[in-house]
Amino acid sequence: MVKAPGQGNLPPAGGGAPGVRRALFRKRARSIGGVALSLGLTLLGLLLVTFIIGRVMPIDPVLKVVGERATQAQYDAAYQAMGLDRPIWEQFLRYMGEVLRGDFGRSISTGHQVTDDLRRVFPATFELALLGTLIGVFVGVPLGVVAAARRGGWIDQIARVVALVGYSMPIFWLGLMGLLLFYGMLGWVGGPGRQGIIYDGMVPSVTGMILIDSILAGDWGAFRDAFSHIILPASLLGYFSLAYISRMTRSFMLEQLSAEYVTTARVKGLSERRVVWGHAFRNIFVPLITVIALSFGSLLEGSVLTEIVFSWPGIGQYITKALLAGDMNAVLGGTVLVGTCFVLLNLLSDILYRVLDPRAK
């Protein structure tokens, strides 16, 4: 977890004297500058490493462009046009220069601008990951808390089995079985893809997240359709994330429940419900946020197998496909985006720490 610089030694919030306020402002500014710097350095490192990996990979991106039949002359022309004849450091600097101007170049595996591609694939993954994480949190956290409170009880046993299955089942198989059952046999949910044919392209794209866009457009039919398509893959991802979240919640809770203040509270005669939810649970917020942020972050990378089974045009498939084609513009663009998300998530959980942890105030 990246800690924002300056954390822990902030002066008391809402300080009275103007001098203190100015000092506070300076601190904040320095803190924001520090965050920006760490963000920049992280991304630069990420770009450099990805770039080098891309260049030493034994995949020839030129072939993807010119195809199997190309003559040597056509091959050479494309090789030069892609700048691959220059030294690696020059290629990197050139690339960085373009990125700083906001140009991630053109993807050779889709023929589109990388930024356009990302604008299309990322919201698809974001929507799915968000819903999956919500399911993971709203089911996994209570499950973990109850499992810890009734340690060894039947809920605990169920939680253990759920987590175990979640860890060990191949998602590919579960996805296909889910489709077969809920789509093929029961007809409860929509099939592979983000939308039914009727609604395809009917909702104007604002955020790229079809659930949100259909609400914005006031098109409830489209919303219902999109929901029926997203619920199965989201539940599947939610299941894997809840397996992780419930286990972590359980172990955080066990730690709290064995603490002295809990014994004190019990001795004072508080109901078990208030002990668990009112006291112990509040104290696991901080580590839990880290867990949730990490889990969300890993879903944001895109779950390639889920995306393939459900024909979900997300960032996982996009980056994987690009990688196999040696399509470095797309890989680098995708990496920067996912990396930025991770850094921002870290930042967000740091901020939440301060809000939720009285010690940080």
150: which residues sit within 8 A by CB, 6+ positions away? Answer: 156
Select from 27, 64, 160, 266 the one that contacts another protein (CB under 8 A): 64
Q: Does 201 bind another protein (CB under 8 A)?
A: yes
In the list 4, 10, 24, 66, the residue contacting another protein (rule: CB under 8 A) is 66
Interacting residue with another protein among 313, 340, 347, 360 (CB under 8 A): 313
Residues in CB range of 274: below 8 A, 6 or more apart: 265
Residue type, 200: D
| Residue 297 CB coordination number (10 Å) | 19
Under rule CB under 8 A, residue 72 binds another protein: yes
Task: Please tell me whether residue 34 binds another protein under the rule CB under 8 A.
Answer: no
Q: Which stretch binds another protein (CB under 8 A): 94-102, 147-155, 160-168, 175-183?
A: 175-183
Q: Is 8 helix (H, G, I), strand (E, B) or coil?
A: coil
Give phi and psi for 144, each to the nearest 5. -65, -40
Structure token pair of residue 153: 């009880």
Stretch that binds another protein, among 96-104, 224-232, 242-250, 336-344 (CB under 8 A): 224-232
- Residue in this structure with the two tokens 């004072």, named with its chain if needed: 268
Binding of residue 239 to another protein (CB under 8 A): no
One-character DSSP codes across 254-276: HHHHTSHHHHHHHHTT--HHIII
- Fill in the per-residue mask, 293 to 312: x = in contact with another protein (CB under 8 A), - = not in contact: ---------------xxxx-
Question: Is 262 one of the binding residues for another protein (CB under 8 A)?
Answer: no
Q: Is 212 a binder of another protein (CB under 8 A)?
A: no
Non-local (6+) Cβ contacts of 144 within 8 A are 159, 245, 246, 247, 248, 249, 250, 252, 253
For another protein (CB under 8 A), the number of binding residues is: 64
Residue 248, CA atoms < 13 Å, CB-side half-sphere: 23
Question: How many Cα atoms within 13 Å fall on the side-chain side of residue 229?
Answer: 25
Q: What is the distance between the alpha carbons of residues 88 and 96, in angstroms, rounded to a whole number?
A: 12
Of 12, 17, 69, 269, which one interacts with another protein (CB under 8 A)?
Answer: 69
For position 14 contacting another protein by CB under 8 A, the verdict is no
Nearer to another protein, 34 or 142 (CB): 142
Residue 324 contacts another protein per CB under 8 A: yes
Distance (Å, rounded) from C-alpha 46 to C-alpha 287? Answer: 26
187 binds another protein (CB under 8 A): yes
Stretch that binds another protein, among 6-14, 52-60, 293-301, 352-360 (CB under 8 A): 52-60
Asked whether position 110 contacts another protein by CB under 8 A, the answer is: yes
* Interaction site with another protein (CB under 8 A): 58-60, 63-72, 74, 77, 107-112, 117, 120-121, 134-135, 138-139, 141-142, 176, 179-180, 183-184, 186-193, 196-198, 200-201, 224-225, 227-228, 231, 308-311, 313, 317-318, 321, 324-326
